[in-house]
Amino acid sequence: MKARPYIISETNWHHVKQTEYSVAILPWGATEAHNFHLAYGTDSYQCDYIAAESASIAWDKGVKVAVLPTIPFGVQTTQMDIPFCINMNPSTQMLVLSDIVHSLEQQGVKKLLILNGHGGNNFRQMIREIQVDSDVFLCTLNWYNVLNPNGYFDEPGDHAGELETSVMMYIQPELVAPLMQAGNGKENKFRISAFREGWAWAPRIWTEATNDTGVGNPAKSSAHKGEKFANAVISKIAEFLVELDATPVDKMYQK
């Protein structure tokens, strides 16, 4: 296997000691049911992969980027009745994130990107709160929102649908069960139109809103679609890392 000096859990002190890392990435996934055909670790595997491959490209372009270990637990407060959907509350995530930011700050890392892979996670408000007391520049992205998926998929779906299934077929095919085993991912929509239209929001009770824990039909998934989409997302994030690295924290705005 090619050495990956930008993956902190694979590197060593000998290497770290002589590298001035400027950007850290914290991938944040989840442990949850993904229809009948995808693994519970899907969000974490995807985050792991997207972070590592984006970092690899950026590293080759001279960015001293460090990918931290993926946090495997997301917010699952509306899935507590589904076995092994392990919930980490937003307030707990906030503490975990604060500790990580504090560590990086002591160690001179200037920027942290939280690379999110789970719809129930939302780091924006946490960043607003932590940033007040930290010199580490904090930012976040959801990898699945980096590109409009419509050109890549017939029906992307939103949880264990065509997008996620295709990406898993590409990055972890052995963890994708035969699609004949999958449910059709039909979502039971809210009765109230404001929720259906999306301008009012309430979290979905998963066992009410879904029939097989999936939202989105995986039937037309393919490794080829997953490869095209994942690689496009990865190169876009890599470009972002290059720009993030090159832009000093006190020169973020066009003036």
Please select the residue that binds Zn ion; options are 27, 28, 33, 42, rule is CB under 5 A. Answer: 42
- Which of 169, 145, 143, 149 is closest to 221 using CA atoms? 169
Give the residue with the Cβ less far from Zn ion, 111 or 159. Answer: 159
Size of the site for Zn ion (CB under 5 A): 2
* Contact between residue 160 and residue 20 where contact means Cβ atoms under 8 Å apart: no
Give the residue with the Cβ less far from Zn ion, 110 or 225. Answer: 225
C-alpha dist (Å) from residue 146 to 50, 111, 222, 242 = 11, 19, 20, 16
Min dist. Cβ of residue 97 to Zn ion (A)? 20
Q: Which range in 12-20, 43-51, 56-64, 140-148 contacts Zn ion by CB under 5 A?
A: 43-51
Give the residue with the Cβ less far from Zn ion, 32 or 245. Answer: 32
53 forms part of the interface with Zn ion (CB under 5 A): no
Q: Which range in 18-26, 38-46, 82-90, 176-184 contacts Zn ion by CB under 5 A?
A: 38-46
Sign of CA dihedral 70, 71, 75, 77: positive
Give the residue with the Cβ less far from Zn ion, 38 or 101. Answer: 38
Interface pattern 100-139 for Zn ion (x via CB under 5 A) = ----------------------------------------
Task: Annotate 179-206 with DSSP letters as a single string.
Answer: GGGS----B---SSHHHHHTSS-----H
Residues forming a β-bridge with 34: 38
* Contact between residue 65 and residue 6 where contact means Cβ atoms under 8 Å apart: yes
In sequence order, what are the residues at sequence separation of 6 or more whose Cβ sits closer than 8 angstroms to the Cβ of residue 205?
78
Min dist. Cβ of residue 117 to Zn ion (A)? 7
* Contact between residue 155 and residue 217 where contact means Cβ atoms under 8 Å apart: yes
Please select the residue that binds Zn ion; options are 7, 27, 43, 233, rule is CB under 5 A. Answer: 43
* Contact between residue 225 and residue 162 where contact means Cβ atoms under 8 Å apart: yes
Min dist. Cβ of residue 168 to Zn ion (A)? 9
Min dist. Cβ of residue 187 to Zn ion (A)? 14
Min dist. Cβ of residue 31 to Zn ion (A)? 10
Min dist. Cβ of residue 30 to Zn ion (A)? 7
* Contact between residue 158 and residue 240 where contact means Cβ atoms under 8 Å apart: no
Give the residue with the Cβ less far from Zn ion, 42 or 79. Answer: 42
- Which of 101, 125, 96 is closest to 113 using CA atoms? 101
List interacting residues with Zn ion (CB under 5 A). 42-43
